[in-house]
Structure 1
Amino acid sequence: MPRVIYIDAQGGEFEADVDVGQNLMEGAVDHMIDGILGECGGVMSCATCHCYVDPQWLDKLPAASELEEDMLDMAIDPQDNSRLSCQIVMTEELDGIVVRLPKSQY
């Protein structure tokens, strides 16, 4: 099963197995990783699953949709590598992906 490495704002590192087809927000919630809330359940209406994708992984992801980009504009401290983790669907190719979580916004 592919693995995601979540790094919190304090530098704590957490590894979680995430099923292919599951999104990274669901994986974080299932493993009780602080920093990703996913309040809207993954329908892109809250941005509480905002994360920063390590640059080496960005080219392996599909581009953000216009709606995702609009939601990221509402996130605190968006950066060029910001994504909504609910929009990153796990694949075998993403095994080992590293995402950093922003400082708590809520």
Structure 2
Amino acid sequence: MPQIIFLPNVEHCPDGAVVDASPGETILDAALRNGIELEHACEKSCACTTCHVIVREGFDSLDTSDELEDDMLDKAWGLEPNSRLSCQAVVAEHDLVVEIPKYTINQVSEGH
């Protein structure tokens, strides 16, 4: 069973976390199932960027992002070459190391 190592993030997992993931499960679903409350304002429909993560290790084991995800990622704060929307990134057989960005663009939670 693959594991996802979440690097420390002050808001979501201050000490970091290591969680088991099932192949075929998204990074977001694995996080939520383990009490890591990543934002997902569009309810996992690939219509926002609030669940943006950076896959530091294991990126190549993920399926390639599709055009819709790529278009949404272009709007994400802190975009990097290994960025993915965690609601779309499906875990395969390999372990992942994931960083949750410090900021997200969410007009609802930002009070706009």
Shorter-chain TM-score tier: 0.7 to 0.9
Equivalent residue for 1:51, pick from 43, 50, 53: 53
Structure 2 gap ranges (5+): none
Q: Tell me the TM-score normalized by structure 1.
A: 0.82
1:1-106 matches, within 5 Å, as 1-10=1-10, 12-34=15-37, 36-54=38-56, 56-91=57-92, 93-94=93-94, 96-105=95-104, 106=109
Identify the structure with the greater helix proportion: 1
Which amino acid is 2:98 matched to? Answer: V
Greater RCO structure (CA 8 Å; 6+ sep): 1
State the superposition RMSD in angstroms. Answer: 1.8
Instruction: Pick closer, same or farther for the CA change 1:97–1:72 going to 2, 3 Å.
Output: same
State, as a whole percentage, how many aligned pairs show the same letter: 35
Q: Based on CA coordinates, which of the two structures has the bigger radius of gyration?
A: 2
For these two proteins, the number of residue pairs brought into alignment is: 102
- Could you list the runs of 4 or more consecutive aligned residues of structure 1 that deviate by over 6 angstroms after TM superposition? none
